[in-house]
Amino acid sequence: MPVDPAVIGRVYPPSPPYEVGLETIKEFAEAVHAEDPAHRDRDAARALGYPDVIAPPTFAVIAAQRSEMQFFNDPDVHIDFTQIVHGEEDFVHHRPIFARDRLIATLFVDSVRHAGGHAIVTTRVELASEEGEPVSTVISTMVERGGAG
């Protein structure tokens, strides 16, 4: 079933805070071969000028993907999740993510289009601190194969 273009521009309510765990950063860093001590050792991160251990550049995807589920679970969105492939991913970091950050995610539907028999959806997640400081912008493009109806 096609995605209703009426969802374009939709903004979902901000998520509850995602608290960034030190051990979660370490485990993610191991999983992406990120060996830098700044992902594990506070002193190494401080030597680079950061207040705490920093997350690898793609760590923001964890909080972003949780937020994106609001779109896929939206009753106005009829997407066959088994036919989804990841098209593109973009990160813009306003500052690094630190251990113990409490991130609020706000999800925007930037575009929905149909091409080549597929539905192509671009969402944007703005991650910010609880005080409203911008942290990361995560833009994801998902392709639903055969989703043009």
Partner 1 sequence: MTEVTTTARPTFDAVSVGDELPPHAYPLGRWELVRYAGASGDLNSIHWSDRLARKAGLPDVIAHGMLTMGTAIKIVTQWCGDPGAVLEYTTRFTRPVVVPDDDAGATLDVRATVVSKDEQDRTVTVEMTVSCGDEKVLGRTRAVVRLP
**Residues found near partner 1 in the complex (CB under 8 A):** 24, 27-28, 30-39, 44, 47-48, 50, 54, 56-58, 61-62, 65-66, 82-83, 85-93, 95-96, 145
CB closer to partner 1 out of 10 and 118: 118
Q: Of 5 and 95, which CB lies nearer to partner 1 in the complex structure?
A: 95
Q: How far is the CB of 79 from partner 1 (least distance, A)?
A: 14
Under a CB-based contact definition with an 8 Å cutoff, are residues 74 and 34 in contact?
Answer: no
Shortest distance, CB of residue 135 to partner 1, whole angstroms? 12
Do 145 and 134 touch, CB atoms closer than 8 A? no
Q: How far apart are CA 125 and CA 104, in angstroms?
A: 10
Q: With beta carbons less than 8 A apart as the criterion, state whether 60 and 136 touch.
A: yes
Provide, rounded to whole angstroms, the least separation between the CB of residue 147 and partner 1. 14
Q: Minimal distance in Å, beta carbon 50 to partner 1?
A: 6
- Calpha distance 109→111 (Å, rounded): 6
State which residue, 10 or 58, has the beta carbon closest to partner 1.
58
> CB of 6: closest distance to partner 1 in angstroms?
27
For partner 1, give the closer residue by CB, 5 or 146.
Answer: 146
What are 97's two structure tokens? 């993510």
Comparing CB distances to partner 1, the nearer of 6 and 85 is: 85
How far apart are the C-alpha atoms of 141 and 94, rounded to whole Å?
21
Instruction: State how far the Cα of 105 lies from the Cα of 41, in Å rounded to an integer.
Output: 26
Task: Supply the Cα-derived Rg of the chain in whole angstroms.
Answer: 17
